[in-house]
Amino acid sequence: MARILVISPSGEVYDHDNVRWYRHADLQSHIEHYHNIGDAFVFDSSLKLLNFEKLDELPIDRVDPAMIDRLNAEYDYVFLRGSNYVHAQMNWAQAPEVLRRLKIPVIAFGIGAQAPVSGKLQLSEDTKTVLKLISDSTASLGVRGTYSAEVLNDLGIKNVRIIGCPTAFRNNDPNLAIRLPPLEQVKTAGVTLRREVSKTYAQDIKRYLTFHRSLVKAMADRFEVTLMSQGEVEEKKLALGTIDQQAQAMTALRANEWANSWYLDEQVERLYQTRMFYSDVVAEYERLVRGLDLVLGYRLHGNLMALANGTPSIYFTYDSRTVEFADTFKIPSIDVFAGQDFKLEEHWDQARFDRFNAAYGQVYRAMSAFLSENKVDHKMVKPAAAAQQVPAPERKVA
């Protein structure tokens, strides 16, 4: 089995292929620190698809020629954990120089581009250099969807494969399918929260938060609800903090202009204090979604974790990332900014989920073919034919 490296690991590994946040047992050491545990979902899921005997991190914050020579001799490849790397603010530290010295392949494992709310996506020379170095080192470069493929095509990078995200395939089931029970049988629901947002992601903050609030309240009125946070400090304190920290969290939320104006009300505050979930351990999220009848909301990877475990999920799309995921996997979704009300009955339609079921199988095969094409030892079913190269796109996505 392979000896492998990872760029941007997002958590510590235990029991070979399980991920949790660093010093997870010492919550107080990082309870004031915001980290998106969804990134750990991707890391954990990536490891579950790979056959390997040894894993280490490739540092990109320094250039150490002797270390890089040793890594070239001792490791088979390095993978870049799938995430939102292709955007205007991305800081690659010393990655361009590190990758220039690296002789082993660099596998881009489902990376993505983030479109700005307005205007053309502007990328730094470092980002362009890193992407081209990765492309040149491998047979193909894996991206999450069409928009990301178009961005790379415009940079002259043609060996792109659309492979979605490892989180969808974490249980390595090529035949996964969502089958809806009658809606009246649904008793429990998880709402994936993303209260903190910026104008970079959401074109209308008021609409984003008021729609978010309406979803939380509607699900709580109808089901036994769990609010699923993925790392915001206040939500984390409410789920796991001391009594004093919980009080601090509510004070901070009430003092937040956006939250106080458009998100909080008496019912939401009560739900925040009694129904909040957070964990620094990926496996605990998986156990949670397996026990729920429905998961829906604003978190890209929280929703995808549910689908990967056979739990129906509906996406609330508000930026190019969420739209791209919903499009790649044909996940039932609603555009937060389309001006429509959300009615669960309209989305609780087996035909909608059958489109996901079909797309899931196609993207699973594309992911498997991508890994095989790049000579990565993996656990996925290996198709007889590799996925086709993404053609030069004719349309542009705003």
pLDDT at res. 60: 97
- Say which DSSP state 113 is in: B
pLDDT at res. 198: 86
Other beta carbons within 10 Å of 311: 21
Helices (H), 275-349: 282-290, 300-308, 320-329, 344-347
* Cα–Cα nearest to 191, from 166, 149, 219: 219
pLDDT at res. 1: 83
Show the tokens assigned to 96. Answer: 């361009």
pLDDT at res. 94: 97
CA 205 to chain centre: 21
pLDDT at res. 393: 41
Q: Domains along the chain?
A: 2-172+362-373 (3.40.50), 183-348 (3.40.50)
236-243: Cβ within 8 A, 24+ apart: 236/31, 236/278, 237/31, 238/272, 238/273, 238/276, 239/276, 239/277, 239/278, 240/27, 240/31, 240/278, 241/31
Enclosing H/E stretch for 171: none
pLDDT at res. 391: 43
pLDDT at res. 384: 58
- pTM of this prediction? 0.94
Q: Are the C-beta atoms of 158 and 184 separated by less than 8 Å? A: no
List the pLDDT tens digit at each of the 398 positions of the chain.
899 999 999 999 999 999 999 999 999 999 999 999 999 999 999 999 999 999 999 999 999 999 999 999 999 999 999 999 999 999 999 999 999 999 999 999 999 999 988 888 999 999 999 999 999 999 999 999 999 999 999 999 999 999 999 999 999 999 999 999 999 999 999 999 999 998 887 899 999 999 999 999 999 999 999 999 999 999 999 999 999 999 999 999 999 999 999 999 999 999 999 999 999 999 999 999 999 999 999 999 999 999 999 999 999 999 999 999 999 999 999 999 999 999 999 999 999 999 999 999 999 999 999 999 999 999 998 765 434 444 444 433 33
pLDDT at res. 199: 86
- Cα angle: 195, vertex 198, 201; to 5 degrees: 100
